[in-house]
Structure 1
Amino acid sequence: MARILALDYGKLRTGIAVTDELQLIASGLTTVETKGLIAFLADYCEKEAVEKIVVGLPKQMDNTPSESEELIQPFLKKLSGRFPAMKIERQDERFTSKMAFQSMLDSGMKKKKRQNKAIVDEISATLILQAYLNRI
């Protein structure tokens, strides 16, 4: 089997998570600057078999798209243009940043490390991917 990647897309940086080859476990991979995201994904997909990419779907509490969705739509067009054969799916990402921060607290992570937004983005991507795995 191939891996599944998940993205917590952001204006400046994007958190990335990946499954194992059996698609059982979601793990944080890294955080990259969003401007270099397509190049990173191209390089990663050359080295690893990737079946699909799951992109977080930011929604408001009333289920309407959040403002962030306006940034994500052009990216999705670029992504599908660069990887036309790749399945791209969406996963609700409500509360992932709060859950990521809480998991950092629960794990005893020091304050200085918790302030690193890149870590929050990577954990958020992992939560998005795990939610997706739980759903399929």
Structure 2
Amino acid sequence: MLSLRSLLRFDTALCLACGLPGLLAAGWTAKFLLPDQAGLFGLSMAGVLLALGAALAAYAALLLIMSNRPQPPRGFVAFTVLADGLWVLGTLALLAAFGGAFSLWGSVALLAIAADTALIGWLKARALRGSNGLATA
């Protein structure tokens, strides 16, 4: 049985795994994802990925803090489900609009992350509803 606490911890791990490349190797990550794109709206791609990595690490810290509560607040978990859905939709929109700018493996990586995010969001939504015996604490 997966509890909301466990799901928030899985989400923490996913956010850290996705954020660390931007924090630790922003330039390399930018070239891996978008080999021919030097910047975005006047900002370097490395800078954009560094900021995204920092945001994901901060969100992971919040997820971890909330997962350590005796019972994670249902409203917070619902917010994370919404955030997961928006991440997936944003990824698909980004790839639909600018897919040609991404490397093949960059596109595969983004789709894999979107699939993992969708799965975690779906499991959290089910746990919130109490479906299939998933625990809520």
TM over 0.5: no
Please give the range of the TM-score, normalised by the shorter of the 2 chains. under 0.3
Provide TM-score, normalisation by structure 2: 0.27
Q: Name the structure where helix makes up a greater proportion of residues.
A: 2
Could you say which structure has the larger radius of gyration? Answer: 2
Normalising by the residue count of structure 1, what TM-score does the alignment of the two structures yield? Answer: 0.27
Structure with the bigger percentage of strand: 1
